[in-house]
Chains A and B, each alone.
Chain A
Amino acid sequence: MPRWLALLDGPQTLGRGPAFWFVFALLVVATGLLPAVVDAFAITNLTYFLVWVFMALGLSIIWGYAGILSFGQTAFFGLAGYTYGVISINLGDAGLWTWFALLMSLLLPAVVAAFVGYFMFYGGVRDVFVGIVTLSITLVFETFMAQTAGPEWTIGSARLNGFNGMSNMPPLTFPWGETPIVFDGPSLFWLVLALVVVVYLGLRIVVNSRFGNVLVAIRENPDRAEMLGYNVRLYQLFVFVIGSVLAAMSGVLYTLWGAYITPSSMGLTAAALPIIWVAAGGRKDITATLLATVFLTWLSQQLAVKGNQYALIWMGFILLVVVLFAPEGLFVTVWNRLRDRRRLRRVATARKTVSLPSA
């Protein structure tokens, strides 16, 4: 087995071995077959839940693996959405222009993140102040976009539209002979699912690699990491940019899903959501983060449908309970308990089969 493939099972992620991967493959295939079984509305919903996964995974590697609390994910989310809107509205959906718009929507936030990261990490901003700076940046974007209501706020033929946000941007279109492939409905669902699988597996390899080892070292003891010869600030900058690209991916896919983007996607409440998902599931593990994101977005939608007002209160309570009683995250804590119980059982069985010398 090539060494990089073995990294899928490395030390920084939970779940390994044939049983785990069998279940994983089963889930992926089952999910992929859903459009044949459930109606279009359910598929659209499921796409919506999956869209947020990337941003949450990005926060997980920034916060859970590298120890940097950033409130900036939603800034890159919004920036990507608006970038896609502006470029695709201006350049249209002929040929590969929408894919160009997609690429730019990932690139621009990355560049901005590089600048922000440089400003912070090379400027000595640490710990809670990273959170304050990134939250401030997010709110600056939101406030700025909110005051673009007037007609003078137009880029090319795309009006920024203030509080109401942009809408009607074209979906991803791939030229295919006479009728181009338009990615919405089931095709968008499969695209997002494929991206989730690719990103998840890719991140598993990355966080278990030598790079991931250094991230974890920086989280645990940045001074010691530096004194082992690692350029700590560069690693922090790097992981921050990677996280921003992931947030951007969520932003673009969200915009494609709903054909709109508004400043409120960068507001205070929106900035809190990825923190909630990642903290509730377990920030130090990407599998836990993925599961928690899908589960909690599903849950809040269910609550919104049934008992509208109580959705956020339940979220708040879940979060509180997790922080007080399972601070490692709900999924991580449950997994660890199960694993410890498995270990004890294994030790107990081993003990039984060893014959002890008589006293």
Chain B
Amino acid sequence: MTFLVEAYAFFYQLADSFAFLVLCGLGLAIIFGMMGVINLAHGEFIMCGAYVTVLSARAGLPLPFAMLCGTFAAGLVGLILEFLIIRRLYHRLFDSIVATWALSLIATQGMLIVAGPSIEGLKTPFGSFELGEYSFSVYRALLPLIALLLLGALYWLFVHTRFGVYSRATIQDANMARALGANTGRIYSQTFTLGAALAGLTGALYAPTITAVPTMGQAFIVQSFVTVVVSGADVMLGLAPSAAVLAFIQSLLTKSYGQLIGQIGLLLTVIIVVRVLPKGISGWVLQRNGGR
């Protein structure tokens, strides 16, 4: 009996890591994976979503609405930043790295000054359930399902809607898309905003489970990049497998050697993947199936 409990405890941990990596990676997968823009402020979009969610909930909004607020807030900030800054940097790789890092610095420090080192958090909804000597949070057990649902929704968006098809076309070949009538400027803007909003959603979803601090972005950014790099450019194909593999490695190492070793395992994985599978999991799969 205890074996089953232990097994579930590991599975729970695995699923929790999986959800974290998928949700972290989603927004960045759109912006970096699809658009090729290195957004080092990605963690701060997550922070924005978390903070707005917490503040809205504390102001009286029911949690789901507060989360929507957080998502919209991050999306709005993304829209503004894309208009003011990002759109000048699309073909300037180094400059976009430096600029988004600058934004990250400003956002982190700014939030520290405006809101202080931490704000009072929210209670995790739905309580917990017990198995053997372990107690699990219901909410966090649900997050993996939400992550998969979001992936499904994104798939539908990018494959079955007009916006999605235009977006993928523009990203693949902007000139051609323009020749076919797509307003590429607006599509870049919308896609970036979507990525920012997804990051905000991640922050919103995790807001009830963690203490929101201004430097929380840094905890997310490394995980996000690792997941997206291992995934490769095709988000639908690669993100879930990437998160699964990484969650497995991290959970295994954390269980045996502690969290810091788990983190090292993650980093070593991305180093090896960059060398061995430079196009990530999705690139490797596509290549094997006869693509270029």
Q: Do A's and B's CB atoms come within 8 Å in the complex?
A: yes
Chain B residues 84-119 with CB under 8 Å of chain A are 85, 88-89, 92-95, 97-99, 101-106, 108-110, 112-113
Q: Tell yes or no: B260 within 8 A of A by CB.
A: yes
Q: Tell yes or no: B278 within 8 A of A by CB.
A: yes
Q: How far is the CA of A144 from the CA of B88 in the complex (A)?
A: 38
Residues 54-96 of chain A: 1 if any B CB is under 8 Å from the residue's CB, otherwise 0?
Answer: 0000000001000001000000000000000000000000000
Give the size range of A's interface with the partner.
35 or more
Chain A residues whose CB sits within 8 angstroms of the CB of B93 once the complex forms: 127-128
Task: Tell me which of B20-28, B183-191, B264-272 binds A.
Answer: B264-272
A69-B94, A133-B271, A323-B99 given; A317·B106 CB < 8 A: yes
The answer to whether A132 touches B105 (Cβ under 8 A) is: no
A268-B218, A323-B95 given; A143·B109 CB < 8 A: no
Q: For B109, give its contact among A63, A128, A275, A313 (CB under 8 Å).
A: A313
Task: Tell me which of A15-23, A134-142, A225-233, A346-354 binds B.
Answer: A134-142
Q: How far is the CA of A170 from the CA of B104 in the complex (A)?
A: 38
Q: Tell yes or no: A279 within 8 A of B by CB.
A: yes
Q: Tell yes or no: A124 within 8 A of B by CB.
A: yes
For the complex formed, measure the closest distance between the CB of B96 and the CB atoms of chain A, giving whole angstroms. Answer: 8
Q: Tell yes or no: A324 within 8 A of B by CB.
A: yes
The answer to whether B275 touches A125 (Cβ under 8 A) is: yes
Q: Tell yes or no: A310 within 8 A of B by CB.
A: yes
Interface of B is mostly: helix
A128-B38, A143-B267, A315-B105 given; A324·B225 CB < 8 A: no
Interface of A is mostly: helix
Q: Tell yes or no: B258 within 8 A of A by CB.
A: yes
Q: For A313, give its contact among B101, B106, B218, B268 (CB under 8 Å).
A: B106
The answer to whether A275 touches B98 (Cβ under 8 A) is: yes
Q: How far is the CA of A306 from the CA of B41 in the complex (A)?
A: 27
The answer to whether B267 touches A139 (Cβ under 8 A) is: yes
The answer to whether B275 touches A123 (Cβ under 8 A) is: yes
Q: Tell yes or no: A327 within 8 A of B by CB.
A: yes
The answer to whether B38 touches A313 (Cβ under 8 A) is: no
Q: How far is the CA of A146 from the CA of B264 in the complex (A)?
A: 11
Residues 237-271 of chain B: 1 if any A CB is under 8 Å from the residue's CB, otherwise 0?
Answer: 00000000000000000000010110110011011
User: 7 A-B residue contacts at CB 8 Å?
Assistant: A124-B275, A129-B274, A133-B275, A140-B267, A147-B261, A275-B101, A323-B98
